Amino acid sequence: MHCEAQGILLQTLIHDYFEIVGKIDDTKSRLKNKMTEIGFENASYVDGPPSPRIVRFVAPDCAEELEEQNETIKAIEDIEDKIDEVNFLHNVINLTVHGQGETLDRIEQYAEEGASQLEKGVKKTAKAARQKKYCRILKIALFIVLAPLLNIAHATGHNGCAQSTIIGHNQECNVKCASGYELNSQDWALPAKCKVLDGVDPYWTFSGKYGSGESNKVAEFGCCLKHSLKVGHTLKAWNLNRNFGTPYAEADANFALFNMFVKNNSKWSTAATNGYSFLLVFPNILPADVTVKTFARLEVTDVYRDPRSAKTLVRLNSKPGFESFPLDSKIALMFALESAPGGTNIKDYADNNAISVKFYHERHPCFCAGNTDLCSYLVPPPTKFASFNIQVFGTTKYGKTEVKDQIVQILNRYDIATTQEIRDSSETAFPSLVGDINAVNDIYDWWTGARQGTTSSKEQVGFIWDRNDFSKVDGYDFDDSSTLWFERPPTVLVLERVSVNYEQFQTQKLGIISGHLKPVTGVSDMVTEDEINHLQDVYNDLLVKHPDINDVLIVGDFNADCNYVANPESLTLYTEPSNDWLIPFEADTTVSPTDCAYDHIVLYGNIRNNVVSSGVFDYQTYYDTDQIFYNGDPITDLISDHFPVEFEFF
């Protein structure tokens, strides 16, 4: 097309724009008349960008009609909220009028779509809730008329920038979520740059107050399912009317009970048939001493204090037995805030903070509906580690399918695990075991040290780790050739955290010293004690090799109890002030009837301060392995004579 054709088209669009404005003015008048008919005689408007807004009205003084009027008030205020959403419309229409046919075809396409939406909207002007459609049409028209040089930014997903050919490498755009989703920040769009390197696998990079990263590493830019219905907030007029002028049913300094009216309005929502949920949005970071309480119908399933948006998001799910919430039915949403005596003044907080509520017609496990990956990204679960002596593990044990399958299930519990007492001259059993573990969940890399021992019985130490979270930096067997401190010198692995949300963790680089120490009985024989104490030398050697490591684990089967170590608390490794022993000597790490703490986890460095939990994993009880059989025998003792020892950390 030529410039003349472009001008004609733009004149048409401008004409359509002013026609739309006129229709909205007409809709305003009809809406006001309709409100007057239903009893709101003082309805008024304030005109201003980006849309007209209903300001306030006075309800008739009829007590018997209070509940019906509250519903109407809530409906009108919902209209206000929906119109307000237009303020967040940064939906870009990326049109550059340079005379190219492709670009003008897009203008014509958007004009046709706008005209189609306008035609539909004209037929529905009798209903106030449909104001939102006119505002959006108006917004599109304004973009077409006033912003012809903006970029199209409808791209979503990992390869979004490839979906529009006019977006190039390093070009900035706003990336919006797919239909039915919204950014977890509840903003309209996310500023991002398109990266097209060699034309292969384009992706978005983004940064800002809601985090940073790459689209092919972070699920859907943090998009969450939109709510089914916006209930409102605690300071809304309809809620205040229901609670006789207060946002709560009752409150004092340490407790506030909220009782909100919820109607699953068929005009905007969806029926719930298999459970439902609510999202409470607090306008600030909820103080640490404040807890959210629920009652018979709902339970708290997630609380996220978001440092990026300075809000707190609380997910409430319906309990089992509360599955249905039909359209146009009503329930009372009840929850409470509570603080300890002398803590946050709950009544003051409730009086001065509007708590918004959104309804979802399905249950969701975390604050971000439909995107648990984002919850794990922002609030990751702790890393789970285990040390496990799997007792003479070789091709024979691997060939016992029921036994091997149970070991697979045990090791699949962990992000990092080390195993001792691999005895396999063919060195095939452990790689095969890892293959079976990955057949369940293909996330693990592995490495083994050399086969070691001064006798014909050689052993290896093995490691597995989640490759999505960690990468191997170094691995070696401690060089004991000049000192001969150990029967089987410990094996050392150094891992570095590489997960996309690595910044959320305190432990970034981790050294692991794993070994099976020589058990020698006798009160006067100090062989076992000496091997344990020399583990400090292995630690010192590791720091020489990797001086940047702050966090180190010394783990394994120390045989540090019962007949092998008479007084374990006198070990110099135990009395060393710079470490912590997680497994107490009162614990029992053995499967047999003996009561001995042979297996241990010793921590050095900052990791000592971010332990979440620790203990002995009793697989016998957890999996009821006495009821699983191999050739007629329970597999409990066939798995190992040791239980794994484990801990969690950030």
In a domain, 375, yes or no: no
Q: Whole-angstrom Cα distance, residue 639 to residue 622?
A: 14
Residue 519 pLDDT greater than 70, yes or no: yes
Residue 509 pLDDT greater than 70, yes or no: yes
AA identity, residue 136: R
Q: Are residues 243 and 344 in the same domain?
A: yes
The least confident of 175-184, 395-404, 435-444, 581-590 is 175-184
Q: Whole-angstrom Cα distance, residue 281 to residue 302?
A: 12
Show the tokens assigned to 302. 């997630």
Residues 284-290 have a mean pLDDT of: 96
Task: Kindly state the DSSP code that residue 417 receives in the 8-state scheme.
Answer: E
pLDDT for the residue 419: 98
- Residue 356's SS3 state is strand
Q: Whole-angstrom Cα distance, residue 429 to residue 394?
A: 5
Residue 72 gets the label, from left (phi > 0), alpha (psi -120 to 50) or beta, of alpha
- What is the band of 31 on the pLDDT scale with cuts at 50, 70, 90? low
What CA–CA distances, in Å, run from 513 to 555, 556, 584, 606, 607? 6, 8, 19, 16, 15
Residue 241 pLDDT greater than 80, yes or no: yes
- What is the band of 66 on the pLDDT scale with cuts at 50, 70, 90? very low
| b/e per residue 327-341 (b: at least 16 CB within 10 A) | eeeebebbbbbbbee
> How many distinct structural domains can be found in the chain?
4
Of 364, 430, 355, 366, which is closest to residue 392 (Cα–Cα)? 430
Show the tokens assigned to 54. 């209903």
Residue with the bigger pLDDT between 231 and 150: it is: 231
Q: Where a domain ends, among 93, 126, 150?
A: 150
In a domain, 254, yes or no: yes
pLDDT for the residue 60: 35
Show the tokens assigned to 618. 């009793």
Note whether 258 and 247 are within 8 A (CB). yes
Q: Are residues 298 and 185 in the same domain?
A: no
Note whether 130 and 121 are within 8 A (CB). yes
Task: Kindly state the DSSP code that residue 151 receives in the 8-state scheme.
Answer: P
In a domain, 318, yes or no: yes
Sorted by sequence, the CB contacts under 8 Å of residue 354 that are 6+ apart come out as 233, 234, 235, 236, 247, 283
pLDDT in tens, 622-650: 999 999 999 999 999 999 999 999 999 99
Q: Are residues 410 and 519 in the same domain?
A: yes
pLDDT in tens, 560-617: 999 999 899 999 999 999 999 999 999 999 999 999 999 999 999 999 999 999 999 9
Residues 125-141 have a mean pLDDT of: 36
The domain of 325 spans: 233-370
Sorted by sequence, the CB contacts under 8 Å of residue 519 that are 6+ apart come out as 528, 559, 564
Residue 90 pLDDT greater than 90, yes or no: no
Q: Are residues 172 and 267 in the same domain?
A: no
Residue with the bigger pLDDT between 134 and 178: it is: 178
User: What's the sign of the alpha-carbon dihedral 278, 283, 285, 286?
Assistant: negative
Q: Whole-angstrom Cα distance, residue 650 to residue 643?
A: 23
- What is the band of 221 on the pLDDT scale with cuts at 50, 70, 90? low
Residues 427-441 have a mean pLDDT of: 97
Q: Whole-angstrom Cα distance, residue 448 to residue 492?
A: 10
pLDDT for the residue 77: 52
Q: Are residues 5 and 145 in the same domain?
A: yes
HEC letters along 286-338: CCCCCEEECCCCEEEEEEEEECCCCEEEEEEEECCCCCCECCCCEEEEEEEEE
Q: Which residues are catalytic?
A: 459, 516
Show the tokens assigned to 395. 């091709």
Residue 119 pLDDT greater than 60, yes or no: no
The segment with the largest mean pLDDT, out of 14-28, 118-132, 577-591, is 577-591
First to last CA, the chain: 61
pLDDT for the residue 130: 39
Residue 353 pLDDT greater than 90, yes or no: yes
- Residue 473's SS3 state is strand
Note whether 150 and 169 are within 8 A (CB). no
pLDDT in tens, 173-211: 666 677 788 877 766 556 677 776 665 566 667 666 555
pLDDT for the residue 167: 56
Q: Whole-angstrom Cα distance, residue 166 to residue 105?
A: 14
User: What's the whole-number average pLDDT of the chain?
Assistant: 79
Residue 5 pLDDT greater than 60, yes or no: no
Show the tokens assigned to 131. 């104001």
Note whether 406 and 635 are within 8 A (CB). yes
What CA–CA distances, in Å, run from 273 to 131, 216, 270, 361, 401? 30, 34, 10, 8, 43
The least confident of 14-18, 272-276, 468-472 is 14-18
Q: Whole-angstrom Cα distance, residue 584 to residue 561?
A: 11
Q: What is the Cα Rg of the chain in Å?
A: 33
Q: Are residues 203 and 314 in the same domain?
A: no
In a domain, 619, yes or no: yes
Residues 287-301 have a mean pLDDT of: 97
Show the tokens assigned to 300. 């708290």
Give me the residue label for tokens 């492709």: 102
The least confident of 63-72, 120-129, 243-252 is 120-129
Phi, psi dihedrals of residue 577, rounded to the nearest 5°:
-70, -15
Share of the chain above pLDDT 70, in %: 67
Q: Are residues 251 and 213 in the same domain?
A: no
AA identity, residue 638: L
Q: Where a domain ends, among 226, 251, 270?
A: 226
pLDDT for the residue 281: 97
Residue 524 pLDDT greater than 80, yes or no: no
Q: Are residues 222 and 141 in the same domain?
A: no
pLDDT for the residue 525: 79
- What is the band of 141 on the pLDDT scale with cuts at 50, 70, 90? very low
Note whether 214 and 204 are within 8 A (CB). yes
Residue 479 pLDDT greater than 70, yes or no: yes
Residue 148 pLDDT greater than 70, yes or no: no
Q: Are residues 365 and 389 in the same domain?
A: no
Specify burial of residue 417 (Cβ count, 10 A radius: 0-12, 13-18, 19+): buried
pLDDT for the residue 440: 95
Strands 383-393 and 645-649: antiparallel
Q: Are residues 239 and 349 in the same domain?
A: yes
| b/e per residue 625-644 (b: at least 16 CB within 10 A) | beebebeeebbbebbbbbbb
Residue 220 pLDDT greater than 60, yes or no: no
pLDDT for the residue 546: 98
pLDDT for the residue 359: 97
Task: Kindly state the DSSP code that residue 227 receives in the 8-state scheme.
Answer: P
User: Quick one: how far is CA 464 from the chain centroid?
Assistant: 24
Share of the chain above pLDDT 90, in %: 60
Strand partners, 581: 602
- Residue 270's SS3 state is coil
pLDDT for the residue 343: 96
Beta-carbon neighbour count of residue 578 at 10 Å?
A: 10
Q: Where a domain ends, among 127, 150, 173?
A: 150
Residue 70 pLDDT greater than 60, yes or no: no
Residue 469 pLDDT greater than 80, yes or no: yes
The least confident of 21-25, 232-236, 509-513, 562-566 is 21-25
Q: Are residues 511 and 596 in the same domain?
A: yes
Sorted by sequence, the CB contacts under 8 Å of residue 279 that are 6+ apart come out as 227, 313, 314, 315, 316, 357, 358, 360, 367, 369
pLDDT for the residue 358: 96
Q: Are residues 145 and 157 in the same domain?
A: no
